[in-house]
Amino acid sequence: MNKKVIVVGGGVSGMTAAGALSELGMEVVLLEKDDHTGGHAGNWDRLFPSRRPGKEVIDFIEKSMSSTVEIRCGSRVTSIDRNTEGFTVNLHNGDPLTAESVVIATGYELFDARKKEEYGYGIYDNVITSAELEAIFKEGRQLVTHNGKTPQRVGLIHCVGSRDEKVGNLYCSKVCCVTGVKQAIEIREMLPGCEVFSFYMDLRMYDRNFEELYYEAQQKWGVNFIRGRLSECAENPDHSLILKTEDTLTGRPLKMTVDLVVLLVGFVPRPETRIISDMLKLQTGSDGFLSPVDEHFKDNSTSVPGLFLAGAVKGPACIVNSIADARATAVQVKAYINGEMVKW
């Protein structure tokens, strides 16, 4: 029995899984469709809640992939076949690869904010997404409006594409709440004269130090939180935006002009994930993300022996959780290849 494992997806989860598997003595090929590894996390400037530079984390994971991992960037998987020998993975460029086990770590896509037409992304000049804001931070650019002015008031809109039946996503994307709080702080840090208003339905500060970050945003940075989902956004003659929401804490509709709107876009499954799940008859949840065999005890396994899942391909997850999950996957894969029964 060979010890060949193919990891599909070169984001945080895929890289971590590949590194861990290689450490465990496997022969690992990491496939990444882009021309570089790092995934989404490579685009983030600083990470919540500690605001540690994202690059630090990516660098660490990349370093941890020993030279034994064969990284193939620019490789798109066209099909995965399960046969008696194991798996054959076909690529759009080059020969098919075979492996004993395959780890799917294809992650997620950011919600296309244009689908929330009423928010005007792609139509109004001063509506951007949280990912674009992150890019501004990462590139060290100054946050300005479309016509180059320093915004006096910025609105951060939570739950864009999440918890919204109207765009078909009932689920919560988990990380946007704390991302919004982090970015609110960062805007205040960069532009002390700029007021920041966060429009939220709930603030789900689910993990350690998240609530403290929220507290810091209120206490130290004076970020204003208004409980109410944005209903619609309209543009003024000067390209500033009018936000309409209900201030649910007073029970009254509220309208406010802001110079810039940041949409905190959620997670959606990749279309490729759908193709893989159709191909291998994998289970997906109503949210479209892949489901493991058992959410508690076989949370990295699929119904296909030898095929494992890691990270946000199973649904919204933060980087910390993705790393932990990918490491767990690696252990499972090793046990599978060694023919060991995993009792836990």
Least CB distance from residue 39 to another protein, whole Å? 27
Structure tokens at 28: 């690992």
Q: Which of 56, 59, 85, 118 binds another protein (CB under 8 A)?
A: 118
**How far apart, in whole angstroms, are the C-alpha atoms of residue 14 and residue 173?**
20
Residue with smaller CB distance to another protein, 138 or 239: 239
Looking at residues 261 to 290 of the shown chain, list those that interact with another protein (rule: CB under 8 A).
Answer: none
**How far apart, in whole angstroms, are the C-alpha atoms of residue 70 and residue 82?**
22
- The neighbouring-strand residues paired with 199 are 157, 226
Q: Which of 190, 254, 293, 320 binds another protein (CB under 8 A)?
A: 254
Contacting residues for 42 by C-beta, under 8 A, at least 6 apart:
36, 54, 55, 58
Q: Which of 64, 150, 218, 321 binds another protein (CB under 8 A)?
A: 218
Q: Does residue 122 touch another protein according to CB under 8 A?
A: yes
DSSP string, 178-214: HHHHHHHHHHHHH-TT-EEEEEES-----STTHHHHH
**How far apart, in whole angstroms, are the C-alpha atoms of residue 185 and residue 220?**
9
Residue with smaller CB distance to another protein, 34 or 235: 235
Phi, psi of 17, rounded to the nearest 5 degrees: -60, -45
CB of 135 closer than 8 Å to CB of 126: no
Q: Does residue 212 touch another protein according to CB under 8 A?
A: no
Q: Which of 43, 79, 98, 257 binds another protein (CB under 8 A)?
A: 257
Residue with smaller CB distance to another protein, 118 or 278: 118
Residue with smaller CB distance to another protein, 98 or 218: 218
Phi, psi of 261, rounded to the nearest 5 degrees: -115, 135
Q: Does residue 235 touch another protein according to CB under 8 A?
A: yes
**How far apart, in whole angstroms, are the C-alpha atoms of residue 243 and residue 240?**
10
Locate all alpha helices (DSSP H) within the chain, ordered by sequence: 12-23, 54-64, 130-138, 175-190, 210-219, 271-280, 319-337
Looking at residues 86 to 105 of the shown chain, list those that interact with another protein (rule: CB under 8 A).
Answer: none
- Of 192, 167, 190, the C-alpha closest to 263 is 167
Question: How many residues bind another protein, per CB under 8 A?
Answer: 35
Q: Which of 73, 170, 249, 342 binds another protein (CB under 8 A)?
A: 249
Residue with smaller CB distance to another protein, 59 or 238: 238
Residue with smaller CB distance to another protein, 73 or 249: 249
Q: Which of 109, 125, 207, 299 binds another protein (CB under 8 A)?
A: 125
Which DSSP helix (H) or strand (E) runs through 75? none
Q: Which of 123, 189, 278, 305 binds another protein (CB under 8 A)?
A: 123
Least CB distance from residue 124 to another protein, whole Å? 7
Instruction: Count other C-beta atoms under 10 Å from residue 80's C-beta.
Output: 22
Q: Does residue 206 touch another protein according to CB under 8 A?
A: no
Least CB distance from residue 244 to another protein, whole Å? 8
Q: Does residue 222 touch another protein according to CB under 8 A?
A: yes
Q: Which of 208, 252, 296, 343 binds another protein (CB under 8 A)?
A: 252
Q: Does residue 215 touch another protein according to CB under 8 A?
A: yes
Which DSSP helix (H) or strand (E) runs through 112? none
* Binding piece for another protein, criterion CB under 8 A, among 78-86, 230-238, 261-269, 298-306: 230-238
Torsion 208-210-211-216 (CA) sign: positive
- Which residues contact another protein by CB under 8 A? 114, 117-118, 121-125, 203, 215, 218-219, 222-225, 227, 232, 234-237, 239, 242, 244, 247, 249-257
